[in-house]
Structure 1
Amino acid sequence: MTTHTLEPVVTPRLVWQNVRRRAWMTALLPLAVVAYLAYTWFAFDVSVLLAKAQPERAAILATDSVAHKVHVTKTFRRGELEVAIEGERTATYDADDVPDWVQLNGENAFVDLGDGYTIEIDGKTAYFDIPGYGLIKATATNDGVDTILPGGNVPEWVRVDPRKLDVRPQLDKRLQITKTKIEIHNYFAGWENFWFPFRSPLHGMSAGQFYALALSADRLDPDYANLWFIVHEFLDNPDWQHGAVFNALFETVMMAVLGTLTAAFFGLPLAFLAARNFTPSKLLRFGTRRLFDFLRGIDMLIWSLIFIRAFGLGPLTGALAIAFTDTGTLGKLFSEALENIDNRQVEGVRATGASQIQRYRFGVIPQILPVFVSQVLYYLESNTRSATVIGALGAGGIGLMLVETMKTSRDWENTSYIIILTILVVMLMDQISGWLRRKLIEGR
C-alpha cells in the first residue's frame, strides 16, 4: 500500500501576504526605533543637558589630569612674588632658583610663557602680550580690577568682570587678577613630584644616582638604610600619598574577596535547599528561592547604604553589601546547576555503599565544581570594580580617596593616578582568576 504525504498548498496569494508582512515589518522596525529615540530625547531632556554642557571645562580638567602647572603669584597683602608647583607652599622655588622662563626683579617680574606669550608684572598692574590679539593691561584696585583691552570684539577666552579678570588664550597659559593678587599659570606635560617631594634630597636624581645611593654605605638618614629611605620617601610623598593609595587599594581588594567568599560560603548550602532534586519540601524550596530574590533584588549600593547607617563607615560595610547581594545571585546559579546534574553519577556512588555526605562529595560536587569556581571567580573580578563604587559612598578603600580627589578642581592628576591604578588592579584580578580557572577546572 502506497502512503501519500499531503504537501501544503502554497498559493500566490499566500506568498504575496508573506511578502507584504515582511515589508511592513522592515518598514515599521526602523520607525519604532526612531520613535523610541525621539521619546527618550524629550523624556530625558537631552537638549537641556547639551545646553548645560561645558566642553571647555572638560578640556581644562583633561589637561589638569595629564599635566602640572607652575604658579607665579603676587599677593598684594604680603607684597611677595612666589613661584610654586601647583601653588603649593611646600613646592615653592627659592628666589635664586626659579625656572629660566621667570625673571624676578624685587616685587616685579617678567614671565615668558612661550610661543610669544609674555606677561609683565609691575606693581599691581599686569601686561599680557598675546600674539594676534594685542596687549591686555589690567590693574588691581581696592574695588576690583580695571581692564584695558585691545579694540574689537572680546574673545571668549577673555572673561572680564569688575571683580576679576580671567584670560586663557590657550589651555596651557592663564592669567587671573583680583583685587588681592595676580596669578599666572604655566602648564607642562607630566606629573611633577610624582616620585619624591619637592624638598626631598632625592628630588631630581637620575636612575643611576638612585642605584649608586642604594648601594652606598653612607646614609642620608641615620635611622634608615638608603634603600629603605628611598622607599620611605616615595610612600610618604605628601602630594601623591602613594602609601595611603596602596593601602586603600588593598582594602578594596580585601573588601571584594571577603564579600565574594562569604557569598559563596553561604550560597552553596542554600542552593541545595532550593534545588528540586535535593529538597522534596515545596515550602522549603519556595522560601529559599524567595530569599534569593530578596537578597539580589536589592541593589548592592542600597545594601551598602543600609549597612553604613547600621554599622557606620568602614570596609566591613562594603564586604557585607557584596556578600548579601551575591549570596542571592550565586545561590540561584548554584541551585540551577544542581538541578541539571547527571543522577547516574550519584547512583554509581550510592551503589558503593557511600553515605549521603559522601554521595554529595563524590557524586555532586565534582559536577558543579566548574560552575562554582567559574562563577565565584567571575564575581570576584566584578566585585573588585563594585567595591570601588561602594567605597565612594563611605565604605572606604580606593573609592573614598577617588571621591575626595574629585571634590576640588586641583587634584585631577591624582584622580587620573587612582583611576589608572584601579584599572591595573582589575586587570591583575582578571589574570589571576583566569590562571585559577585553568588550574582548578582544566587541571593545567
Structure 2
Amino acid sequence: MKSDMLEYQVASYLLRKRIKAMMVPAAIIGYLVYVFFTFDIAGLRERVSIPNVKVLLSDVYSYKTHVARNNRSGDIEIAIEGERKGRYPAGKSPEWVVLGDETVIDLGNGHVVVFGQQITYDIPNFGRIAAQPDKDGINAVFPTDNLPGWINVSKNRLAIKTDAGRLTVTRNRAEVFRYFAGWELFFFTLDSPYHGMSLKQLVATGDYGDILRAFWDNKMWRHGDVAWALLETVLMAFLGTFGAAIIALPLGFLAAKNFTPLGALRFAARRVFDFLRGVDGLIWTIVLSRAFGPGPLTGSLAILLTDTGTFGKIFSEALENVEAKQIEGVTSTGAKPLQRYRFGVIPQITPVFLSQILYYLESNTRSATIIGAITGGGIGLLLTQAIITQKDWEEVSYYIVLIILMVMAMDTFSGWLRAKLIKGDGADY
C-alpha cells in the first residue's frame, strides 16, 4: 500500500514538473502570437516602400544638384541640394550643364535633357519625351503609349525617374536632379576661393589660417555650429551627472541604516530617491522645459534629477556595505565624526562611486542627444532639424557619425579615467 502511494506521489510530482516545463514555452509562443497580430507583422510588407528606402539610403551617402527653369521667364537656377547657400552664380554651371538659348543637361550614359522651347528628355532604348508647359497643362508627348512605371504623368505634372537622374515638369517649373556620391561642399562652399582645390594646392597656398576659417565657417555644413553643439551635449551630460553625484552623496548617508538610525528619516530619503528615478528623464525634460523654457540648462537639470535618485540608491547601498573595522580603527585614534567619515568611509566607497559616476557620464552623453532634441540644445537639436526637413539626409548621417564618435570618445575617456583613479593605471586606454 505504501509503495503504491509512493509511486502515485512520484508520478504526480513528475506530471507537475512536465506541466510546468511545458507552460514556459507555451507562454512564450502565446506571447509571440499576440505580438504578431497586435503589431500587424503580416502587414509590414505592405507598409514598407522599397523605392523610398532606396532614395533614403542613397541620400545618406550622396548629394543631388538641382537644375531648375522658371517656365514663365526662362530663368535657369542651379543649386546643390536646392539650397541658396549652394547656388551657382548667374552664368556659372557645372561642366555637365551647358547654358545658352537652350540649356543642355547631360546626365551621362546617353541621358540628355534640354530646356528650350520644349522640354525634352532623350532616354536610351526608349526614345524622346517632349513636354510643352502652358496654361492648358504640360502637353507631354511620348514615343509609346505603353508607359513604364518610372514615368508618372497627369495633365499638370510629369515625373520621370531613371538611374541617371530625375526630371519633374509642371506648368510653372521644370527641374532636373542629378545624384553624385559624396558630401559636396563639405569642406568649402562655392563662394570660397578654396573650392575645388586639391590638398596639394591648399598646402601650396600657405594660408592655413584662412583655410581653417573657411572650413569652420562653411555655410552649408556649419562645422563651427556643429562643434559647439557637440560641446553643449557633453556639458549637459557632465553638469547633470556630477551635479547629481554631489547632491546624492550626503542624501545617501541619510538613507543608509548604519549611518541614520532614525527609520522615518531613512524612509523619507529612500522615497525621494524612488520618486526622482521613477520619473523618466524625458518626462523631467518636458516638465522642466515648460517651467524654465528650452535650453541646455533644462536638459542638465533633467539629467540631474533622474540621476540624483539613481545615485542616492546606489550610494546608500554602498554605504551599508562598508567595513566597520576600518571605521573603528580610525575612531581608536581619537578622530572626530567628520574625520571618521573622511578616512574610514570615503576610501572604501570611492571606487564604487567613481565607477558608477563615470559609467553614467558615458550613458548620459547618449541621453543628452535625445534630451537636447526636446529642450532645443546640443547636437540633438541639429539632428532633429535635419530629419524634419527630409531634404539633406547626408547631414543626418554626418550628425549620427559625430554622435557615435562622441560616445566612443567618452567611453574611452571614462574607461581611462576609471582605471587611472581606481587602479592607478590607465595604460590600456
Q: What's the TM-score once normalised by structure 1's chain length? A: 0.88
Q: Alignment partner of 1:204: what SS?
A: coil
Percentage of matched positions with identical amino acids: 49
Match of 1:175 among 167, 170, 181: 167
**What's the counterpart of residue 106 of structure 2?**
112
What code does the residue aligned with 2:297 have? L
Equivalent-residue separation in structure 2 for 1:340 and 1:129 (angstroms): 80
Query: What RMSD over aligned residues (CA atoms) do the two structures have, in Å?
Result: 2.5
Q: Alignment partner of 1:407: what SS?
A: helix
Q: Alignment partner of 1:145: what SS?
A: coil
The answer on 1:391 being equivalent to 2:372 is yes
**What's the counterpart of residue 424 of structure 1?**
405
Q: Residue 37 of structure 1: CA displacement? A: 1.9
- Are the equivalent residues in 2 in contact too, given 1:316–1:395 (CA < 8 A)? no
Match of 1:55 among 47, 50, 55: 50
**What's the counterpart of residue 37 of structure 2?**
42
- Are the equivalent residues in 1 in contact too, given 2:258–2:320 (CA < 8 A)? yes
1:156-179, CA deviations, whole angstroms, 9 ceiling, x for partnerless residues?
332223222222123x61111111
- Are the equivalent residues in 2 in contact too, given 1:317–1:395 (CA < 8 A)? no
What code does the residue aligned with 2:56 have? L
**What's the counterpart of residue 195 of structure 1?**
187
1:162-204, CA deviations, whole angstroms, 9 ceiling, x for partnerless residues?
222222123x611111111111111010011111111100111
**What's the counterpart of residue 147 of structure 1?**
140
- Are the equivalent residues in 2 in contact too, given 1:74–1:181 (CA < 8 A)? yes
Long gaps (5+) in structure 1: 1-8, 215-225
Q: Alignment partner of 1:186: what SS?
A: strand
1:86-97 matched pairs, under 5 angstroms: 86-93=81-88
Q: Alignment partner of 2:114: what SS?
A: strand
Mark the CA change 1:164 to 1:21 in structure 2 (over 3 Å): closer, same or farther: farther
Q: Residue 13 of structure 1: CA displacement? A: 6.6
**What's the counterpart of residue 78 of structure 1?**
73
- Are the equivalent residues in 2 in contact too, given 1:262–1:323 (CA < 8 A)? yes
Q: Residue 21 of structure 1: CA displacement? A: 5.2
**What's the counterpart of residue 219 of structure 1?**
none
**What's the counterpart of residue 157 of structure 2?**
164
Q: Residue 54 of structure 1: CA displacement? A: 2.6
Mean alpha-carbon deviation: is it higher for 388-397 or for 191-200?
388-397
- Are the equivalent residues in 2 in contact too, given 1:90–1:199 (CA < 8 A)? no
Q: Alignment partner of 1:140: what SS?
A: coil
Mark the CA change 1:155 to 1:267 in structure 2 (over 3 Å): closer, same or farther: farther
Mean alpha-carbon deviation: is it higher for 404-413 or for 17-26?
17-26
Match of 2:246 among 255, 265, 274: 265
Mark the CA change 1:362 to 1:10 in structure 2 (over 3 Å): closer, same or farther: farther
Match of 1:412 among 383, 388, 393: 393
Q: Alignment partner of 1:277: what SS?
A: coil
Q: Alignment partner of 2:105: what SS?
A: strand
Mark the CA change 1:389 to 1:282 in structure 2 (over 3 Å): closer, same or farther: same
Report the count of equivalent residues.
423
Equivalent-residue separation in structure 1 for 2:12 and 2:145 (angstroms): 70
Mean alpha-carbon deviation: is it higher for 284-293 or for 340-349?
340-349
1:332-382, CA deviations, whole angstroms, 9 ceiling, x for partnerless residues?
011111111111111121122211111111111111111100110111011
What code does the residue aligned with 1:192 have? E
1:210-252, CA deviations, whole angstroms, 9 ceiling, x for partnerless residues?
22322xxxxxxxxxxx332222211111101111111111111
- Are the equivalent residues in 2 in contact too, given 1:346–1:364 (CA < 8 A)? yes
- Are the equivalent residues in 2 in contact too, given 1:65–1:416 (CA < 8 A)? yes
Match of 1:336 among 298, 302, 317: 317
Q: Residue 46 of structure 1: CA displacement? A: 4.2
**What's the counterpart of residue 68 of structure 1?**
63
Equivalent-residue separation in structure 2 for 1:435 and 1:352 (angstroms): 36
Match of 1:205 among 197, 201, 204: 197
**What's the counterpart of residue 121 of structure 1?**
115
Mark the CA change 1:165 to 1:12 in structure 2 (over 3 Å): closer, same or farther: farther
What code does the residue aligned with 1:369 have? T
Match of 1:252 among 233, 239, 245: 233
Mark the CA change 1:95 to 1:19 in structure 2 (over 3 Å): closer, same or farther: same
Long gaps (5+) in structure 2: none
The answer on 1:289 being equivalent to 2:289 is no
Equivalent-residue separation in structure 1 for 2:170 and 2:98 (angstroms): 22
Equivalent-residue separation in structure 1 for 2:209 and 2:106 (angstroms): 41
What code does the residue aligned with 2:246 have? F
What code does the residue aligned with 2:317 have? E
1:74-97, CA deviations, whole angstroms, 9 ceiling, x for partnerless residues?
112331223332223443445765
Mean alpha-carbon deviation: is it higher for 88-97 or for 326-335?
88-97
- Are the equivalent residues in 2 in contact too, given 1:389–1:399 (CA < 8 A)? yes
Equivalent-residue separation in structure 1 for 2:305 and 2:110 (angstroms): 62
What code does the residue aligned with 1:120 have? V
